Amino acid sequence: MAEMYDVIIAGAGPGGATAAYFLGEAGRRVLVLEKETLPRYKPCGGGLSTRFLEEQFPFSFDPLIERRVKSIRYTLDGRSVSVPLRDRMMGMVMRDRFDAHILAHARAEVRQGWAARAVTEMPDRVIVEVRDGRVVEGRYLIGADGANSVVARSVGLRRGKTMAAAIEAEAPVPPETMRRLADGPTILFGEVRLGYLWVFPKREHLSVGIAALHPRPGELQATLARAMTRYGVSLEGVSLHGHPLPIYTRREPIATSRTLLVGDAAGLVDPLTGEGIRLAIKSGRLAAQALVAEHPDRYPGMIHRQIGMCHTFGLGLAQFFYHHPRGCFMLGVRNPFATRAFIDLLSDQADYPKVILRVLGSLPAYLITEGVAALAGLLGGPERRRRLRRAVYSGASD
């Protein structure tokens, strides 16, 4: 007879590892199935809020931070703006070390090289077939096995999912290029339809990538290579890693009576930013809370209230942005108060309705400041204009 666990978790990414940690802390017997051998590479930009991590976990992530973010740079049609972040509460991580770090703190049994192949739900348990005909059994199952989740497919969930495509690479660059791009992320708009590119600095290299909805064959690879050449980043001989992004477009079933989906398996990627780590961690913790309380039926509602409703506004904002990119760039992206609002979103201190209100509410101050700065530039030169803008916008990044 197979061993019986309280909860089986398929996948050791941020969502699965987080669920394992909080379930273990609650005294549940947990089995984590991971198809790879940890630590394993995961294509991911790896930018996240350190404030969010501090508020979610009682252990430190400082050893994993490859770079602290000093500023964020945005570009569109050859125009560029850099917004300083004085609190430096964003950091860059590599997913192999990050995922393993969370799991190392979990009181759970981990079986590496074991992939969930099929799931059978019974009235009182879930049977998971792994490999060579072996099976494991648990009272509940958490599917944290990514965008192409075997768990979701086995139990009939997420059949109507919407996917974006992404390509990412870890690119070594010359020291002068590294110094030029080391202060923080560079986000490139206008290079690809319904998508964007990114350059994220790590300790000794750059993580670069591109994501878009419905790209043409070969479009992402060609666009990424062309754009990176302009930044002094050569992708010749560099491995490109493709992966799907399950973009949230609507509320749909993410649970049965005994199986809960988290993270990418639940389709919780942010529809505007493409962010996934924070939502995986958040959903993993909510899944653990629901199972500890013996109320898995409450989990979908918890996700909808704490993530889905926010994503609905994010989807509307994404559609507006990609249909009016230049206007949004001038009035939103270039506005330092808007960046601060989005940093609070990434820190889980604000939702999209609040972000939208803050951006709209800051427009008068932003437009007046830009107008006065332009006048100062005419009367006193570029340096006077820069000093004025720094004085006014310093509060936007405190």
> Within the chain, which residue ranges are assigned CATH 3.30.9.10?
162-246
324-328, 336-340, 386-390: least confident range: 386-390
CB 173 within 8 A of CB 167: no
Q: How far apart are CA 287 and CA 281, in angstroms?
A: 10
Work out whether strand 126-129 and strand 118-121 pair parallel, antiparallel, or are unpaired.
Answer: antiparallel
Tens-place pLDDT, residues 168-192: 999 999 999 999 999 999 999 999 9
24-33, 50-59, 243-252: least confident range: 243-252
Share of the chain above pLDDT 70, in %: 92
pLDDT at 46: 93
Tens-place pLDDT, residues 137-163: 999 999 999 999 999 999 999 888 888
> Within the chain, which residue ranges are assigned CATH 3.50.50.60?
4-46+94-159+252-294
Question: Three-state secondary structure along the chain?
Answer: CCCEEEEEEECCCHHHHHHHHHHHHCCCCEEEEECCCCCCCCCCCCEEEHHHHHHHCCCCCHHHCCEECCEEEEEECCEEEEEECCCCCEEECCHHHHHHHHHHCCCCEEEECCCCCEEEECCCCEEEECCCCCEEEEEEEEECCCCCCHHHHHCCCCCCCEEEEEEEEEECCCHHHHHHHCCCCEEEECCCCCEEEEEEECCCCEEEEEEECCCCCCHHHHHHHHHHHHCCCCCCCCCCEEEEEEECCCCCCCECCCEEECHHHHCCECCCCCCCHHHHHHHHHHHHHHHHCCCHHHHHHHHHHHHHHHHHHHHHHHHHHHHCHHHHHHHHHCCHHHHHHHHHHHCCCCCHHHHHHHHHHHHHHHHHHHHHHHHHHHHHCHHHHHHHHHHHHHHHHC
Tens-place pLDDT, residues 238-247: 999 999 999 8
4-46+94-159+252-294 CATH pick, 3.30.360.10, 3.30.1280.10, 3.50.50.60, 3.40.50.620: 3.50.50.60
Has residue 388 got a pLDDT over 50? no
pLDDT at 398: 44
Reported confidence tier of residue 332, pLDDT bands at 50, 70, 90? confident
Q: Residue count of the chain, please give it.
A: 398
pLDDT at 181: 96
Mean pLDDT of the chain: 91
CATH superfamily of 162-246: D-Amino Acid Oxidase, subunit A, domain 2 (3.30.9.10)
Work out whether strand 30-34 and strand 4-10 pair parallel, antiparallel, or are unpaired.
Answer: parallel
CB 246 within 8 A of CB 264: yes
